[in-house]
Amino acid sequence: MSQHPPFERTDLPRATAVVAAPVADVYAVVTDVTSWPSWMPDVLEPVIAKGDDRYLFRREHNGRTDHNEGLVIVRGPTHTFGVQIDAIDRVWFRTRPSSTGTKVDIVLEPVGAAPWRQRLRGRRRRLEQERWVQDALSGLADHATPDA
C-alpha cells in the first residue's frame, strides 16, 4: 500500500456525495481532527493533539473501546487529506468544487493484511466498512452544511 490517495481504486469501501457548503468550509471540517467526534461515527471525545499531525483518540467498535493513534499522512494543497489510524486503516478525504456545493469522496483503505479472524468474516467486515464510510460522509455533510 502506498501513501498515494486511492480515489481511483474501485475495490475499497467508499462514499461520494455533494455537500451544500463551500469547499473551504468542508475541507476545514475534515482537517480539524479534534472535531471528528462531533460528526464521525464511533470516534469518542476527546481527541488529543500530540504535535502538529498526530492525534490520540478513542473509538467505540463492536461494544468495546479501542485506543487509536492517527497520523496525518497527506495534507494536500488540492483539498486531499489522509490519516493513518494505527497500522490498521487509512481514511482518505477529497473535496472538490461542484455546481451545488462541494463534492466529497471518502475512501477507507486497509494498510495491511487483516488478522485471520477478520479474513474469515471478510464479507461482513466489508459491509461494516462500507456502512461506516457512508455514515462518515453523512455526518460530515450535516456538520459542514450551514443551518438553513
pLDDT at residue 1 in the model: 42
Percent above pLDDT 70 for the chain: 89
pTM, 2 dp? 0.87
pLDDT at residue 111 in the model: 84
Mean pLDDT to the nearest integer, 60-83: 88
Query: What is the gyration radius of the CA atoms in the chain, in angstroms?
Result: 15
Q: pLDDT tens digits for 90-110?
A: 999 999 999 999 999 999 998
Q: pLDDT tens digits for 107-137?
A: 999 887 655 555 556 778 888 889 999 999 9
Give Cα separations from 2 to 21, 30, 73, 82, 109 (angstroms).
31, 21, 11, 12, 10
Distance CA 147, CA 27 (A): 17
Please report where in the chains the cell 480539524 appears, as a residue. Answer: 32
Distance CA 75, CA 15 (A): 20
